[in-house]
Amino acid sequence: MSAATGYRPSATLPIWAEVKRQASRRRTQLALGFMALLPLIVLVAFEFGGSDDDDNGGGQFSSLVDLATSGGLNFALFSLFVSASFLLVVVVALFCGDTVASEASWGSLRYLLAVPVPRARLLGVKLVVALMYSLLALLTLAGVALLVGTLRYGWHPLGSTIAAEIPPGEGLLRLLGILGYLAVMLLIVAGLAFLLSVLTDAALGAVGGAVLLWIMSSILDQIEALGVVRDFLPTHYSEAWLGLLSTPMQTDDMVRGAISAVSYATIFWSIAFWRFTRKDITS
Amino acid sequence: MIVAGVVVAAVAPDRDSWTTSDQMIAVPEAPGGAGTIDLDSRLYLPRDRDGKVPAVLLAHGFGGTKNSVRTDAQSLAERGYAVLTWTARGFGRSGGQIHLDSPDYEIRDGQRLLDWLAARPEVRTDATGDPRVGVVGGSYGGALALLLAAQDRRVDAIVPLITWNDLGRSFLPQSADTDATGVFKKGWAGLFFGNGAAAPTSEGTAETPDGSGEQPELPQTLPPGINPACGRFAADVCAAYLSMATTGIPDEAALAVLRKSSPAPVLGNIKAPTLLIQGAVDTLFPLSEADANARGIAAGGTPVRVAWFTGGHDGGLGPQTDQDRTKFLTAQWLDHYVKGEGAAPADSFTYSRVAGFSALDRGLVTNGYSVDAYPGISGTGRSEISLNGPAQPIANPPNGNPGALSSLPGIGGQLSTVLAGVAGDIPGQHATFASEPVATSVDVAGAPTVRLRAASPTGEATLFVKLYDVDPAGVETLSAGLVAPVRLTGLPKDIAQAQPVTVTLPAIVRRIQAGNALRIVVSTSDQGFLTPAAPTTYTVAVEPTLSLPTMVGTPISNPQVIWRYVLAGLLAAILLGLVVVLLVRRRRAARAPTVEEFADTPLVVRGLRKEYADGFVAVEEISFTVERGQVVGLLGPNGAGKTTTLRVLMGLTMPTRGDALVFGNPLVPGAPILSRVGSLVEGPGFLPHLTGEQNLRAYWQATGRPWADARFDEALEIAGLGDSVHRRTKNYSHGMRQRLAIAQAMLGLPDLLVLDEPTDGLDPPQIAEMRRVLRRYATDGRAVLVSSHLLAEVEQTCTHAVVVNKGRIVASGLVDDIVGESPSVQIEVTDVAEAERVLAGMDVASVLPDGATGLIVDMNGTARSEVVASLVRAGVGVDRVVPRRRLEDAFLALVGENSRGSGDR
């Protein structure tokens, strides 16, 4: 007689229970809601924006702006482009950085551990659910953008100024590829935020810290004098998905980006698990 | 900090693996003359060399200096070569005038440099005065390599890059198969003449090593003594330029100068193995120049290898993959033919084709291809494309203005700009002949040909034939900005009588994507060329067949592909690591020993000690037991170590020493036995956005146990929150949360209930109710452990008590034993002295004063009524008699009056 009847460590904190725990939270609903709202806001902005065509900055950005209204695929691409560098980072940091730290700050973490939910299982479930929500946010953004963009601008080939137009069917696949790569890159943020979430009881510290470090890495990446060091910055390959817009696709940078992202995420998560399974819970 | 370390490591200078020495080398000013000029030179020597090393003569491009090739010199020196760089005569700090790689001047200078190298003790020699040497150079330096190898057999190998075969053809290109003089390439010629006209300039402009894109600073004023029309050009070269640029038709003297400076006539003399590297984005010296060189040298039986890269005078160094490839080929060539190391390079021909843009640096990405032997510029196959379009009249603008734009000479390095197409045609000046979209992709590599017919009222026509690639969206691209200038003479006035001439377009490397159309445009003007000044209207027609040379090479494995394997390996390693970690954990979890002796005891704490990392000892040593049916109070002042003990019981904290056993199972984080413990430690912890009921449900869901086992209603009843249970917990009062937390701890009726200060925040009726609940709970073989710093709490709730202070147990046992009536009594009397006297006469153990009017009397079995009666009889007034209790004694005696604990525990 070692455990209560019906208790199995592997059955504690079922994924679905954690999904519900997070789903009932306002910040989850707001974050996901905003992901759905953003494409609509962008759409409305385009509608009211008029067409006084001044040069908007140059580079591939302006080309994406110019092409954003050329079809649903381009609208979705534009929505992703403007969100990828900051908004998605914040959302992923929120889902992954808040998950453990908020339980700690509420004091409910110790009761979960006294259930007992094995620590590694608790982290594992929390991580999986946080990643699921992050992916859901990404898919919501892209899905809504694709939907409203297609309804408003039609189903047209994916255009870009650096390559010929891509037919809609293949364009959709490219868009999925871009989503996949963004998801992989955001693993770095997810890893960092999750690690900080384990290390601190302050949810804000975990989320803010992850975003802060991400921005710092982005800034360092702008400094070309750093040379080869830049290749090791977590944000260095964050825009490699643009290679999917050219024909044929340029995937070399994406492969290296994926290596970087997977390595960083693995390191961060390993430290998180190592630390959490050993530390005294003081919250 | 790690980042900082890496930054420092990357930026910190390494010790160079070469040494340099600068010297001016004197060479004859003119053949046969007595005067000398000095050539500004620098010798790079490998720092670690055993014995003599082979040498490389590294020449710079037009307008450059010895510094232009610095990085290449350094990398060659790293490979173990003595590298001699110098500033050619007429440039930089070197003396003399520019003779355009004349065999009598620049090439003789090269021979003197070979002499100089042979005399250096560090340089390996084949014979006295014959150094083991290769000559490498781009553009101007490439032609020098060819001409020097033709003139001097001491040269052991050459690597000419992006250079010319026939300078006349380069500046007066003629793409039609006629003998008429070509069209003067005024854009490039002017640019070069302007460069050479520059007076000696300050050194140090590090330039691209292959000679492209040299842009030395132009001085504001010319120094005295220099002909402002010619700058540092030699008189004959200057005169040749001036005559050509004026009329567009070179005179005999100009042709002689150009011929003398061309490798074409002397290629047969070259015996040094030659590696020719030519750029496909080069409107100055297109691929056909290298082709002519390759054929000329190969005709003499000399080993020749050719490579193309995506770059050149317009395209710059090209993408990194191309730079790596050409560097590798150069090193391989020199190593074998000069150093004598490594296998003989293969005969294979390598080239690259633009594959797209890199997302990161916005540069181009190319794929490399290889074929077994150099096929020339006519490809290994042909693809015929039909063109449609009637004969069209086109106007020649007076003085070539406005003129069509095809390339921008001199902005080398802007590869993407060139490829994106700056091309633009002027309406009325061009005729278009278009094809249908191609059904399948065509890999063009070489010079396309088309047959052109033209009529002109003057009998002559200067035309430019271009091949556009048009994508389905209508965007047209002029590959590499290359055009075919044609000057036709003896033309009829009527197009019907015009004979077709074959026009060979510049060689390109391009994939025509399926669905793209091709367009031949014949135009009358191009800003890069000199066209007839008089306005004329020509009529042009193109025969319907466009012949495209094709080549299907084997893709050179992209070194980047290795990263895919790295990624796959990384993922596999992570998976493997995960599996190993899980297995190890499972094995570890399996060996949790059970102490059979205590298998039926709810809680046994044995020698528990907890030290924190900072050395603070929260619990010195605590041992106690909670049996079934007991309600045990853990009593102690704040900071006595109660909470730390309870944290261990919740599996939150690992004890430093000792252990806690629940039914014989040690309590470690995540131990399954914790499922039989219900707990409330350090206050409630609820999800603020959920209601009380939802919180309890969420908690029970986390246990993964059947819903029926929760005894949910009983717990809710204990919480006694009424309808408030449906409100969000963030709106709860402290007491409500406390009750909800106790209910949560009781969910599932665990065998052991651990409550930390359970009555905290409750009002007196609730406290009374809670006491009843706890006492009732401990029936049915369950047990309760309550911690409190309130004596009354423990006294009224518990059956047993454990008193802790400063991390140690000071008393433990039945509450009745501890808390029960003590043998001593506190008596307050009116006359203390008299009372003491009376008591001394009675059978009591001790009498101690307690304040001004009090006495503490150890009764020793004497009845209190008897003592009071005796005192009253003796006339001592008794204000009150208070029975003392043992626990209070112990508490005060052991804990002391000092209300401060041993620390915040």
Going from the first residue of chain B to its last (905 residues), give the mean pLDDT of each consecutive group of 10, the final group possibly shorter: 53 73 90 86 89 92 90 91 92 88 91 91 89 92 93 92 92 90 88 68 40 44 67 87 86 89 91 93 91 92 92 83 90 92 88 75 77 89 90 90 80 51 78 91 92 91 91 81 90 89 92 89 90 90 92 81 90 95 81 78 91 87 91 86 87 88 87 89 89 91 89 84 88 89 91 89 87 86 88 83 86 76 77 84 78 79 82 86 68 55 41
Q: What's the number of CA atoms in the CB half-sphere (13 Å) around residue B126?
A: 16
Lowest mean pLDDT among A46-55, A60-69, B105-114, B800-809: A46-55
Instruction: Taking each helix axis as running N to C, give the angle between helix B692-703 and helix A15-23, from 0 to 180 degrees, rounded to the nearest 10.
Output: 160
Q: Does B829 touch chain A (CB under 8 A)?
A: no
Contact B359 A241 (CB under 8 A): yes
Q: Does A45 touch chain B (CB under 8 A)?
A: no
Place of tokens 């005399």: B119
Which residues lie across from B610 on neighbouring strands? Answer: B619
Query: Rounded distance, CA B828 to CA B849, Å?
Result: 10
Pick from B360, B673, B675: CB nearest A253: B360
Q: Does A174 touch chain B (CB under 8 A)?
A: no
Cα dihedral sign, B142-B145-B146-B147: positive
Band of pLDDT at residue A131, cut at 50, 70 and 90: very high
Contact A21 B698 (CB under 8 A): yes
Q: What is the pLDDT of residues A242-274, one digit of tens each?
A: 888 876 777 888 999 999 999 999 999 999 999
Listed residue (B478, B475, B74, B142) closest to B279, CA to CA: B142
pLDDT of the residue at B198:
58
Q: Does A222 touch chain B (CB under 8 A)?
A: no
Tell me what the mean pLDDT of segment A25-40 comes to: 93
Contact A164 B669 (CB under 8 A): no
Distance from CA of B787 to the nearest CA of A (A): 17
Contact of A244 with A258, CB cutoff 8 Å: no
Residues 6 or more apart in contact with residue B167 via CB below 8 angstroms: B100, B143, B258, B259, B261, B262
Q: Nearest residue of A to residue B662 by CA position? A: A2
Q: Does A126 touch chain B (CB under 8 A)?
A: no
Listed residue (B337, B348, B311) closest to B211, CA to CA: B311
Contact B7 A26 (CB under 8 A): no
Distances from the Cα of B354 to the Cαs of B415, B510, B511, B593, in angstroms?
Answer: 11, 7, 8, 68
Distance from CA of B206 to the nearest CA of A (A): 17
Q: What is the DSSP string of B481-523?
A: G--EEEEE-S--SSGGGPPPEEEEPPPEEEEE-TT-EEEEEEE
pLDDT of the residue at B210:
42
For chain A, what is the largest distance between any 2 Cα atoms, rounded to a whole number of angstroms? 78
Q: How open is the CA angle B408-B502-B260, to the nearest 5 degrees? A: 60
Contact of B605 with B629, CB cutoff 8 Å: no
For chain B, what is the largest distance between any 2 Cα atoms, rounded to a whole number of angstroms? 161
Distance from CA of A121 to the nearest CA of B (A): 10
DSSP-assigned letter for residue B53:
B
Query: Rounded distance, CA B311 to CA B55, Å?
Result: 27
Check whether A16 has a pLDDT greater than 60.
yes
Pick from A9, A163, A239: CB nearest B360: A239
Residue count of chain B:
905
All residues of chain B having their beta carbon less than 8 Å from the beta carbon of residue A231 are none
Query: Rounded distance, CA B812 to CA B805, Å?
Result: 12
Query: Rounded distance, CA B537 to CA B393, Å?
Result: 6
All residues of chain B having their beta carbon less than 8 Å from the beta carbon of residue A252 are 365, 558, 560-561, 563
Instruction: Taking each helix axis as running N to C, give the angle between helix A119-153 and helix A26-48, from 0 to 180 degrees, rounded to the nearest 10.
Output: 20
Q: Does B651 touch chain A (CB under 8 A)?
A: yes
Contact of B199 with B95, CB cutoff 8 Å: no
Query: DSSP E strands: which ranges in B638-684?
Result: 657-662, 665-666, 677-680
Q: Nearest residue of A to residue B644 by CA position? A: A282
Residues 6 or more apart in contact with residue B574 via CB below 8 angstroms: A262, A266
Q: What is the DSSP string of chain A?
A: --S-TT--GGGSS-HHHHHHHHHTSHHHHHHHHHHHHHHHHHHHHHHHS-------S-HHHHHHHHHHTT-HHHHHHHHHHHHHTTHHHHHHHHHHHHHHHHHHHHTHHHHHHTTTPPHHHHHHHHHHHHHHHHHHHHHHHHHHHHHHHHHHH-S--EEETTEEEE-HHHHHHHHHHHHHHHHHHHHHHHHHHHHHHHH-S-HHHHHHHHHHHHHHHHHHHH-GGGGGGGGGSTTTTTTGGGGGGSSS---HHHHHHHHHHHHHHHHHHHHHHHHHTTS----
- Joined together, the tokens standing for residue B12 give 């910190």
Residue B540: strand, helix, or coil: strand
Place of tokens 């991400």: A214
Contact B702 A13 (CB under 8 A): yes
Mutate: best of B3, B324, B360, partner A, most A CBs <10 A = B360
Q: Does A242 touch chain B (CB under 8 A)?
A: yes
Query: Rounded distance, CA B405 to CA B349, Å?
Result: 32
Residue B525: strand, helix, or coil: coil
Q: Nearest residue of A to residue B646 by CA position? A: A114
Q: Does A166 touch chain B (CB under 8 A)?
A: no
Q: Nearest residue of B to residue A19 by CA position? A: B698
User: Which residues 144-163 on chain A approach chain B with CB closer than 8 angstroms?
Assistant: 159, 162-163
Listed residue (B254, B272, B275) closest to B163, CA to CA: B275
Contact A111 B679 (CB under 8 A): yes
Average predicted confidence (pLDDT) for chain A: 87
Query: DSSP E strands: which ranges in B765-807?
Result: 783-788, 800-805
Q: Does A234 touch chain B (CB under 8 A)?
A: no
Pick from B360, B663, B702: CB nearest A240: B360
Query: Rounded distance, CA A222 to CA B394, Å?
Result: 51
Query: Rounded distance, CA B296 to CA B653, Å?
Result: 85
Place of tokens 């232009």: B68
Q: Does B861 touch chain A (CB under 8 A)?
A: no
Listed residue (B615, B594, B634, B637) closest to B806, CA to CA: B637
Query: DSSP E strands: which ranges in B720-820?
Result: 752-756, 783-788, 800-805, 808-814
Contact of A12 with A121, CB cutoff 8 Å: yes
Size of interface A-B (CB pairs under 8 A): 203
All residues of chain A having their beta carbon less than 8 Å from the beta carbon of residue B471 are 164-165
Amino acid at B770: M
Residues 6 or more apart in contact with residue B350 via CB below 8 angstroms: B307, B308, B325, B329, B368, B369, B370, B553, B556
Contact B672 A115 (CB under 8 A): no
Compute chain A's Rg from CA coordinates. Answer: 21
CA torsion, ordered B527, B533, B537, B538, to nearest 10 deg:
-70
Query: Rounded distance, CA B542 to CA B538, Å?
Result: 13
State CA B228 to chain mean position distance.
52
Distance from CA of A35 to the nearest CA of B (A): 22
Contact B687 A115 (CB under 8 A): no
Contact B669 A14 (CB under 8 A): no
Residues 6 or more apart in contact with residue B471 via CB below 8 angstroms: A164, A165, B477, B513, B515, B516
Pick from A106, A111, A250: CB nearest B359: A250
User: Which residues 326-355 on chain B approach chain A with CB closer than 8 angstroms?
Assistant: 355
More confident residue, B167 or A57: B167
Q: How open is the CA angle B577-B580-B584, to the nearest 5 degrees? A: 140
Listed residue (B391, B525, B537, B535) closest to B457, CA to CA: B537
pLDDT of the residue at B866:
84
Contact B689 A26 (CB under 8 A): yes
pLDDT of the residue at B174:
92
- Joined together, the tokens standing for residue B667 give 């309590």
